[in-house]
Amino acid sequence: MTTEQDATEGSGIDDLLAEVPPGETPDLSGAFPRLEESRLRSLEAWGERRPTARGEVLIAEGQPEDTFHVVLSGRVAVVEGLGTSDQRVVRVHGPGRFLGELGVLTGQVSFFASVVVDQGEVLAVPADRLRELAATDPAFGDQVLRAYLVRRSLALGEGIGFRIIGSRYAPRTRELREFAVRNRLPHRYVDLETDPSAERLLRGLGLRTEETPVVLYRDRLLRNPSPAELAAAFGLRATAAKQEVCDLVIVGAGPAGLAAAVYGSSEGLDTALLDAVAAGGQAARTSRIENYLGFPAGISGGDLAERAVLQVERFGARRSVPAEVVGLERRDGDYVLQLADGGDMATRCVIVASGVRIRKLPVPGLEEYEDSCVYYAATPVEARQCVGDPVVVVGGGNSGGQAAVFLADSAAEVRLVVLEARLDENMSRYLADRISADPRIEVHLHTAVEDVAGAAGRLEAVIVRDTTTGERQRLPARELMVFIGGVPSTSWLPDPVIRDAGGYLVTGSGAQRMTDAGEAAGPAPLFLETSWPGLFAAGDVRSGSVKRVASAVGEGAMAVRLVHEHLATGR
Give me the mean pLDDT over the 199-215 stretch.
90
- Residue 567: what residue type? L
pLDDT above 80: residue 479: yes
Average pLDDT (465-493) is 96
Question: What is the C-alpha to C-alpha distance for residues 400 and 41, in angstroms, rounded to an integer?
Answer: 50
Residue 240 lies in a domain: no
Q: What is the 3-state secondary structure (H, E, C) of 54-111?
A: CCCEEECCCCECCEEEEEEEEEEEEEECCCCCCCEEEEEECCCEECCCCHHHHCCECC
Taking residues 363-369, what's their average pLDDT? 91
Residue 458 sits in the same domain as residue 501? no
Average pLDDT over residues 185-208: 88
Half-sphere exposure of 226 (CA within 13 A, CB side): 10
Q: How far is CA 430 from CA 360, 389, 500, in A?
A: 27, 27, 32
* Listed residues 233, 265, 282: the one ending a domain: 233
Q: Of all residues in the chain, what percent carry a pLDDT higher than 70?
A: 95
Which of 108-112, 170-174, 280-284 has the largest mean confidence?
A: 108-112
Statement to judge: residues 289 and 334 lie in one domain: yes
Q: How far is residue 529's CA from residue 509's CA, in Å, rounded to a whole number?
A: 9
pLDDT band with cut points at 50, 70 and 90 for residue 520: low
Residue 452, phi then psi, degrees to nearest 5: -130, 155
Are 559 and 538 a contacting pair, CB within 8 Å? yes
State residue 12's pLDDT score: 77
pLDDT at res. 41: 94
Mean pLDDT of the chain: 91
Mean pLDDT lowest among 179-193, 370-384, 557-571: 370-384
| Same-domain status, 106 and 190 | no
Mean pLDDT calculated for residue range 202-214: 90
| Residue pLDDT, tens place only, 444-465 | 999 999 999 998 888 999 999 9
Bridge partner residues of 77 (DSSP): 92, 115
State the average pLDDT over residues 332-345: 93
What is the band of 500 on the pLDDT scale with cuts at 50, 70, 90? Answer: very high
Q: What is the Rg, in whole angstroms, of the alpha carbon atoms belonging to the chain?
A: 25
Are 421 and 396 contacting, i.e. CB atoms less than 8 angstroms apart?
Answer: no
331, β-bridge pairs? 334
Residue 158: which pLDDT band, with cuts at 50, 70 and 90?
confident
Q: Which of 251, 186, 225, 272 is nearest to 489 (CA)?
A: 251
3-state helix vs strand vs coil in the chain, percent to 5: 30, 30, 45
Rounded average pLDDT over 141-164: 92
Please give the residue that has the higher pLDDT: either 203 or 565: 565
Q: In this structure, what DSSP letter does residue 423 have?
A: T
Q: Residue 195: which domain range?
A: 162-233
Query: In the 8-state DSSP scheme, what is residue 539?
Result: G
pTM: 0.84
Q: Tens digits of per-residue pLDDT, 229-271?
A: 999 888 776 654 456 899 999 999 999 999 999 999 999 999 9
Checking if the pLDDT of 404 tops 90, the result is yes
Model pLDDT, residue 5? 35
Q: Provide the angle, in degrees to the nearest 10, between the axes of the packed helices 549-569 and 255-266.
A: 40
Q: What single letter denotes the amino acid at residue 260?
A: A
pLDDT confidence band for 10 (50 / 70 / 90): very low
Query: In the prediction, which pLDDT does 517 show?
Result: 62
Evaluate if residue 400 carries a pLDDT over 60.
yes
Length in residues, the chain: 571
List pLDDT tens digits, range 525-550: 999 999 999 999 999 999 999 988 99
Q: Are residues 313 and 192 in the same domain?
A: no
pLDDT digits 0-9 by tens, 288-320: 888 888 989 888 888 899 999 999 988 999 999
The predicted structure's pLDDT at residue 301 = 86
Q: Do 192 and 279 have their domain in common?
A: no
Q: What is the CATH number of the domain that holds 205?
A: 3.40.30.10
**Cα dist from 31 to 91, 97, 149, 479, whole Å:** 11, 10, 8, 33
What lies within 8 Å, CB to CB, of 277 at 6+ separation is 178, 179, 182, 227, 321, 322
Residues 387 and 445 occupy one common structural domain: yes
**Domains held by the chain: number:** 4
Alpha carbon distance 58, 110 (integer Å): 11
Mean pLDDT of 209-218: 90
Q: Which residue has the higher pLDDT, 178 or 388?
A: 388
3-state secondary structure 339-391: ECCCCEEEEEEEEECCCEEECCCCCCCHHHHCCCCEECCCCHHHHHHCCCCEE
Inside any domain, residue 309 = yes
Residue 529 lies in a domain: yes
Sheet with 441-444, side-by-side order of all strands? 374-375, 479-482, 390-394, 413-417, 441-444
CA atoms within 13 A on the CB side of 439: 0
CA distance 435 to 432: 5
* Phi, then psi, of 102 in degrees rounded to 5: -60, -25
- Please indicate, yes or no, whether residues 220 and 255 belong to a single structural domain of this protein: no
Confidence of residue 518 (pLDDT cuts 50, 70, 90): low
Domain final residue, candidates 465, 482, 499:
482
**In a 3-state reduction of DSSP, which class is residue 204?**
helix
Domain membership of residue 347 (yes or no) is: yes
Report if residue 238 sits inside a domain. no
Which one of 210, 233, 256 terminates a domain? Answer: 233
pLDDT for the residue 380: 76
Does 83 fall in a domain?
yes
| Cα–Cα dist 250/421, whole Å | 39
Residues near 431 by beta carbon (within 8 Å), at least 6 away in sequence: 290, 398, 401, 402, 405
pLDDT of residue 1: 35
Is the domain of 324 the same as that of 183? no
Strands 67-80 and 48-52, bridge-based pairing: unpaired
